[in-house]
């Protein structure tokens, strides 16, 4: 039985079905048309074979076809104990011995659910991509959490992942912060202001936007249109001049730029460390735009791009359903597209990856469509390897965030709020009453960040989401703390079993044991863990793991409440339930780690 477990049952069932079709109907059949499903909870059974595609072949009604197939299949697969038919659905019931053998074989296997083969191809995975003119906010948190979780999922499935961050450290938005600091900063530093460097710079970005809007209003009162006022504002003209000086390597401009960026980098570093994300390589747009300019010049020489009379460089994409796209301004400064062209080239040169995945919000869908088309026009071999993982925006109960107005949920403030909420709720529930203070603080951090990460990652990345901090930290329901508490509960149970010398051992006989429904349901969930991680990696969707691990925690809790474990007098049953508990704890822990969430040993 154990050897058969090493093959996926669904594959073997499909093979047995193919043989049954030949036996019954004398011809082969395209098995890819058939559907095998896990039987719905409200129906007795473990696997369901959908019969309808076979009716033309059998020339019988659905019930007759299902019954005669069931009779042949059950003889081919000894793990099937019985079957029953509902219309065109053949529901197969596996012997308890099958599930028990799975537990015995896997409960203590550390590698369960982790690919043992390393793939040759590399995947370059970009996430975070902050701007050095402002601190990270809630939107960045979703980006970072999705990206980091995907790196864990892809690695668990054997891919060689390179985690990269592209820091947007140049451009007009950076120059806005610089100009505001030059005009109104009065030599202020993070140390003198007592704030993180990224927050100090963000303050001046918001200040620029405030003053800029005031100038636009003044110019509109003098008869200019809003667009004309926006283009002729003295502040925006000064900011553009700073950008021109930066690209001309003006000494004073570069000095201030380096100073302010250093403040931002230190602030980002602190946020990343608390959030628990990291990178293998950091690219800077101040470097990549140069490679982009080289590609633009290459395109000009080949006649793929066109230079207008004012000196600006464009590409005509009208044949692709778009229009002309600017790649270099008339003053020679680059645009976002220029630097993204250069970034793609550098990553290809550095790693020759099979895929370059960009975790970037859905407001950039159009930008990435253009990026791929420009690279195709330039005959770059990596154009088809670019994949934009387009994720939805995060909104709050009170509406959308606005960085320019300073109306955002700051990432550091949010993590601190999650910590405080976790502390309040944990103390109210008495779950840390006997913890030393240092250990209690660590627990509050683990619960708070776990709540934040799980709440965000349980939503399909492609969807917009509403973030409610209070709802995320509930110890009941579909939340991170509920799953963490389930893990801690099992660890406590295992610790007690070990202290009483009750832990499972290989020689224990488990034959003749019957599984109760809640036991069987939990084992069935455990068995599909490898498939869940593969599906999540294939679809680039951490929500698949998040919602799976909640179902597993919920199933185990039902089992735990209904069935005695340590108080069970029958040694075989007690061993079986402890094996179930050990494997559940392991899969909970692994699943949470794939989401970047820590599992507390006790709560």
* pLDDT score of 469: 78
Given a cut of 70, whether residue 75 has pLDDT beyond it is yes
Length of the chain: 603
Given a cut of 70, whether residue 401 has pLDDT beyond it is no
* pLDDT score of 482: 96
Give 415-466 pLDDT, tens digit per residue.
Answer: 999 999 999 988 988 888 889 999 999 999 999 999 999 999 999 999 999 8
Give 221-274 pLDDT, tens digit per residue.
Answer: 999 999 999 999 999 999 999 999 998 999 999 999 999 999 999 999 999 999
- Mean model confidence pLDDT for the chain: 92
Contact (Cβ atoms closer than 8 angstroms) between residue 426 and residue 432: yes
Contact (Cβ atoms closer than 8 angstroms) between residue 132 and residue 201: yes
Contact (Cβ atoms closer than 8 angstroms) between residue 587 and residue 113: yes
Q: Report, as an integer, the average pLDDT of 99-125.
A: 90
Give 503-522 pLDDT, tens digit per residue.
Answer: 988 777 777 889 999 999 99
Q: Report, as an integer, the average pLDDT of 480-485.
A: 96
Q: Report, as an integer, the average pLDDT of 181-204.
A: 96
Given a cut of 50, whether residue 341 has pLDDT beyond it is yes
* pLDDT score of 107: 92
Q: Report, as an integer, the average pLDDT of 334-355.
A: 94
Distance CA 174, CA 424 (A): 39
Greatest CA span in the chain, whole angstroms?
A: 92
Higher pLDDT, 583 or 119: 583
Given a cut of 50, whether residue 129 has pLDDT beyond it is yes
* pLDDT score of 560: 96
Q: Hey, what are 24's tokens?
A: 């019954």
All domains in the chain, ordered by first residue: 2-94 (3.30.1360.70), 127-405 (3.40.50.620), 466-594 (1.10.730.10)
Given a cut of 90, whether residue 73 has pLDDT beyond it is yes
* pLDDT score of 297: 92
Distance CA 157, CA 365 (A): 27
* pLDDT score of 2: 39
Given a cut of 90, whether residue 474 has pLDDT beyond it is no
* Residue closest to 272 by CA, chosen among 195, 165, 405: 165
Give 289-330 pLDDT, tens digit per residue.
Answer: 899 999 999 999 999 999 999 999 999 999 998 999 999 988
> Out of 48-52, 474-478, 573-577, which region has the weakest mean confidence (pLDDT)?
474-478
* pLDDT score of 407: 59
- Whether the pTM exceeds 0.85: the reply is yes
Give the DSSP letter of residue 126: E
Q: How many CB atoms lie within 10 A of CB 9?
A: 20
* pLDDT score of 195: 96
* pLDDT score of 398: 65
HEC string of 393-419? CEEECCECCEHHHCECCEHHHHHHHHH
* pLDDT score of 406: 47
* pLDDT score of 4: 40
Given a cut of 70, whether residue 403 has pLDDT beyond it is no
Distance CA 387, CA 401 (A): 27
* pLDDT score of 404: 46
Q: Report, as an integer, the average pLDDT of 28-51.
A: 92
Distance CA 275, CA 136 (A): 11
* pLDDT score of 5: 43
- Nearest-10 Cα torsion for 30, 34, 36, 39: -160
Q: Report, as an integer, the average pLDDT of 192-198.
A: 96
For the residues of 108-122, what is the DSSP string, one character each? T-TTTTS--S--S-E
Given a cut of 80, whether residue 562 has pLDDT beyond it is yes
């Amino acid at each position: 039985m154990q050897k058969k477990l090493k093959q996926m049952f669904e594959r073997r069932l499909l093979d047995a079905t193919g043989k049954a079709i030949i036996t019954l109907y004398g011809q082969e059949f395209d098995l890819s048309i058939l559907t095998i499903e896990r039987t719905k909870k409200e129906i007795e059974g473990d696997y369901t074979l959908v019969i309808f595609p076979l009716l033309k072949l059998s020339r019988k009604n659905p019930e007759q076809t299902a019954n005669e197939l069931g009779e042949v299949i059950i003889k081919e697969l000894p793990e099937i104990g019985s079957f029953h038919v509902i219309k065109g659905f053949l529901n197969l019931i596996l012997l308890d011995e099958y599930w028990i053998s799975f537990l015995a074989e896997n409960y203590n296997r550390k590698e369960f659910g982790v690919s043992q083969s390393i793939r040759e191809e590399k995947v370059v995975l970009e996430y975070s991509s902050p701007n050095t003119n402002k601190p990270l906010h809630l939107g960045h948190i979703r980006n970072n959490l999705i990206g980091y979780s995907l790196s864990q999922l892809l690695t668990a499935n054997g891919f060689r992942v390179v985690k990269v961050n592209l820091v947007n450290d140049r451009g007009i938005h950076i120059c806005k912060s610089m100009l505001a600091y030059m005009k109104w900063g009065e030599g202020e530093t993070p140390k003198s202001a007592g704030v993180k460097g990224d927050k100090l710079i963000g303050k001046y970005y918001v200040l620029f936007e405030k003053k800029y809007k005031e100038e636009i209003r003044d110019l509109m009162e003098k008869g200019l249109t809003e667009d004309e006022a926006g283009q002729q504002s003295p502040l925006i003209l000064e900011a553009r001049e700073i950008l021109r000086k930066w690209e001309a390597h003006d000494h004073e401009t570069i000095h201030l730029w380096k100073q302010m960026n250093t403040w931002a980098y230190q602030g980002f570093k602190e946020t990343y460390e608390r959030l628990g994300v990291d990178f293998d390589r950091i690219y800077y747009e101040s470097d990549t735009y140069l490679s982009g300019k080289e590609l633009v010049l290459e395109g000009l020489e080949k006649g793929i791009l066109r230079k207008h009379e004012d000196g600006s460089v464009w590409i005509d994409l009208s044949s692709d359903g778009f229009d002309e796209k600017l790649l270099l301004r008339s003053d020679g400064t680059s645009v976002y597209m220029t630097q993204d062209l250069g970034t793609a080239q550098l990553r290809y040169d550095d790693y020759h990856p099979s895929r370059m995945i960009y975790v970037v919000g859905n407001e950039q869908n159009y930008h990435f469509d253009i990026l791929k088309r420009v690279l195709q026009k330039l005959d770059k071999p990596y154009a088809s390897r670019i994949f934009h993982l387009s994720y939805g925006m995060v909104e709050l109960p009170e509406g959308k965030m606005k960085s320019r107005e300073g109306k955002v949920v700051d990432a550091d403030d949010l993590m601190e709020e999650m910590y405080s909420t976790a502390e309040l709720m944990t103390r109210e529930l008495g779950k840390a009453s006997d913890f030393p203070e240092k250990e209690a603080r660590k627990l509050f951090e683990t619960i708070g960040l776990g709540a934040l990460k799980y709440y965000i990652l349980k939503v399909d990345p492609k969807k917009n989401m509403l973030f409610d901090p209070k709802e995320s930290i509930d110890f009941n329901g579909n939340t991170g703390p509920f799953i963490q508490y389930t893990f801690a509960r099992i660890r406590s149970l295992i610790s007690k079993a070990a202290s009483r010398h009750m832990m499972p051992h290989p020689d224990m006989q488990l034959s003749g044991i019957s599984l109760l429904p809640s036991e069987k349901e939990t084992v069935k969930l455990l068995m599909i863990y490898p498939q869940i991680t593969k599906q999540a990696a294939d679809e680039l969707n951490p929500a698949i793991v998040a919602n799976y691990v909640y179902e597993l925690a919920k199933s185990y809790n039902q089992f735990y409440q209904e069935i005695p474990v340590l108080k069970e007098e029958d040694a075989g049953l007690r061993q079986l339930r402890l094996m179930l508990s050990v494997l559940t704890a392991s899969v909970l822990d692994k699943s949470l780690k794939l989401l970047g969430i820590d599992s507390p040993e006790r709560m």
